[in-house]
Amino acid sequence: MDIFSQIRNSSQWVFYLFGLIALLAYPSFANNFFVFQIGALSLILGMIALSLTLLAGYGGMVSLSQMSIAGLAGYFLALFGESNAVQSLQLAPIIAVPAAIILATLVASFFGLLSVRTEGVYTIMITLAVGVATFYFVQQNYVIFNGFQGLSGILPPTVFGTNFKDPVPFYYVSLMCAVLAYVFVVSLIRSPFGVALQGIRDNPRRMKALGYNIFLHRIVTHSIAGALAATGGVLLAWFNGFVSPGIVGVDAMINILIIAVIGGLNHPIGGFVGAVIFILLQNFAIDLVGSDRFRLLVGCVFFLIVIFSPNGLIGVGSKILNWAKKRPKASEDKMGMEVIKVDDV
Amino acid sequence: MKIHKRKVSAIVYLIVLALFATFAAWAITDNKNLFVTVSMNGLTIAALYFLVAIGFTLIFGLLKNVNLTHGSLYLLGAYLGYTVADLSGSWLVGVAVGTFGVGIVGFLLQVLVFRHMQNQELQQALVTIAISVILADLMLWGWGSDIYQLDPPDWMYGAVAIPVIGKYSIYKLFILGFSISVGLGLWLLLNKTYLGVMIRAGVDDQQMLSAMGVNVHVVFALTFAIGAAIAGLSGVIGGSLMSITPGEDTRYLLASLVVVIVGGMGSIIGTALGAILIGLSEQYGLAYAPTYGVIFTFIIMAAVLIARPQGLLGRE
């Protein structure tokens, strides 16, 4: 490691430190609406988008079913834990939450199993089909999922007299989960597992020849991303207080893709950047285009980003930074390693 | 290894057939009328799904473009057909405008957008998602969230006597026949015309076709236009069978996706097979296990993906 990258790494640490302090201090200068509706929701959707970033940016598998996993985790939470549903088991949160996350992770692994033997655009097709089928299933099934109405009365627990439904405690719970998920993903992509995953993304045949079980590697990535999305899904169910088919609908599935792509798929922070932009647009689009045409606006933003900056806003940001520093266009990837392009044999 | 694989898949097909025969035997002894009606409805839906999916698989086959706007193009065709048929008083004019209107939209999409991002399959897929979000909202803006119903002309209205169940809707029989003729027409186009030769050559090797002096951009744009036009056409046909509402784009996008995943991308016969499997299973599911109907579709898709990821008749 040369001296320049050390300096850059140290400036990165300063950046992270200030970011964390700002996030921790945020509730002290923001009102409840900004803490809960904007802050907490951005962190939750950012986590679900982060799971997509891991799959798409580092595994080369653009999965549209991450929202389905998150939504199913919410459903499972309502079915295992305390809720208004008659078919609910009414277990204590300490059992219900892990059970919901584990079951949703198993579902994610199964979805992964279905899609990993195909590549590229097939993954989008299959995960979209699987996700839409999930939506129609929870909408049509009344015995377990209560059909169109969904399940309601999902409340976060009260621990040591702190009610986690209150905006500020809920924000801190979301922040804790989001930071843990972020740190986890950042260390995962630098671990041998993550490096091998990127190798599989770039050249599956070569990785296979090196002895990696690429299908298993991809399925495990689906499981890990599923666990992240499921955690976000539990928080989202607490945030809304209910789960309904709309939560796993096509619009919601595409929203997660839009968030991840707007932010940028080539860095774990992208999902969170995209989520903040998306939530701000959602809440304040009324002033721009009227609340009815929000999806038109978001569709256009997504369109422009995909066409002009495939790396999202992070890509735009780094382009501006590069231009400001008058540095030659660095051919480095996010890990600071030189990308060596070798043609496929 | 090959023979062994074939033996295994033959056994699997036999088991599936046996299971279906058992189910059919039970259903016929239980209620013959219901079973035949449901089967006929299943085939009608299959015909509609085939119509929608064939455009999707045609576009993918040549352009490698997973066109996720396909559901939106279906719905656009339905709305256009409804409005024009309503204004002109003629269903056939509605069909014509729905078909050509959406064909032109498809042509423009290919020329203005997708042409500029060739060989970037992922980016193309993302752009088609963006366009479908935009189209869905524009259509909601233009036509609102009302439910529309197109009426087929009088001579297709009513029922005709057929064996076992007595009466069956003429329009549903028309859809069956029409969809078979579109399938045949497309097969003839691909196999017996000069354009078809160029399209098939383009599927196999674009660069070579281009080097032979063929303007591939024109071939691409025409293919996209034909695929989109068939989507618009099926929108008008389907909108006359069922209602036209904002959520239908998703439903038919799912249908196209599942049909081509099961049948195999780029194959007309595979698409027909996939459509029949999905149409029948959906209708049997609705009739015999109402709240689990989707599960059957899902199980078929999952089984095919695990056993043959490229689809039943897809190329390896």
Which residue range(s) make up the domain with A303?
32-325
Domain count, chain A: 1
Considering only the beta carbons, identify the residue of B130, B261, B297 that sits closest to A126. Answer: B261
Pairing of strands A151-152, A242-243: antiparallel
Give the number of other CB atoms < 10 A from CB of residue A284: 10
Residue scoring higher pLDDT (B296 or A61): A61
What mean pLDDT comes out for the span A263-287? 88
B291/A118 touch (CB, cutoff 8 Å), yes or no = no
Is the pLDDT assigned to residue B133 strictly greater than 70?
yes
Tell me if A114 and B305 make a contact (CB, 8 A cut-off).
yes
The ipTM is 0.85
Query: Who among B124, B258, B302 is closest to A114 (CB)?
Result: B302
The answer to whether B133 contacts A254, with C-beta atoms less than 8 Å apart, is yes
Assign residue A240 the CATH number of its domain. Answer: 1.10.3470
Contact A114 B64 (CB under 8 A): no
d(CA B302, CA B74) in angstroms, rounded, equals 26
First to last CA, chain A: 31
Summary mean pLDDT of chain B: 86
Whether A15 maps to a domain, the answer reads no
Instruction: Give the pLDDT mean for A27-48.
Output: 87
Q: Out of A124, A132, A300, whose CB is closest to B250?
A: A132
Q: What is the pLDDT of residues A102-111, one digit of tens each?
A: 999 999 999 9
The pLDDT score that the predictor gives to residue B2 is: 53
| Closest alpha carbon within chain B to A296 | B134
Helix extents (H) in chain A: 3-29, 32-33, 41-53, 66-80, 93-115, 121-140, 167-190, 192-202, 204-209, 214-240, 250-263, 270-288, 294-308, 312-325
Residue B268 near residue B186 (C-beta atoms within 8 A): yes
A196 touches chain B (CB under 8 A): no
Residue B126 is nearest to which of A118, A292, A306, comparing CB atoms?
Answer: A306
Residues in chain B with CB shorter than 8 Å from the CB of A140 are: 290-294
Question: What one-letter code names the amino acid at B235?
Answer: G
pLDDT for A341: 44
Residues of A in contact with B133 (CB under 8 A): 254, 258, 295, 298-299, 302
Task: Identify whether A58 is part of a domain.
Answer: yes
pLDDT confidence bin for B134, thresholds 50/70/90: very high
Highest mean pLDDT, choosing among A59-63, A125-129, A226-230: A226-230
Give dist(CA A200, CA A207) in Å, integer: 6
- Indicate whether A337 pLDDT > 50: no
| pLDDT the model gives residue A340 | 43
Q: What is the pLDDT of residue B275?
A: 94
Residue A333 lies inside a defined structural domain of this protein: no
Q: What is the pLDDT of residues B143-178, one digit of tens each?
A: 988 898 888 887 777 777 777 677 788 888 889 999
Give the gap in angstroms from C-alpha A56 to the nearest C-alpha of chain B. Answer: 11
Does residue A47 lie in a domain region?
Answer: yes
- Please indicate whether, in this complex, the C-beta atoms of B305 and A126 are within 8 angstroms of each other: yes
Task: Judge whether A278 is closer than 8 Å to chain B, CB to CB.
Answer: no
Residue A27 lies in a domain: no
Question: Least CA distance to A123: which residue of chain B?
Answer: B122
Let me know if residue A285 belongs to a domain. Answer: yes
pLDDT tier, A330 (very low <50, low <70, confident <90, very high otherwise):
very low
Question: How many Å apart are CA B237 and CA B51, to the nearest integer?
Answer: 9
A148 touches chain B (CB under 8 A): no
Dump pLDDT digits (tens) for B231-272.
999 999 999 888 898 888 888 998 888 998 898 887 888 899
pLDDT tier, B1 (very low <50, low <70, confident <90, very high otherwise): very low
Q: Using CB atoms, which residue from A125, A129, A307 is nearest to B127?
A: A307
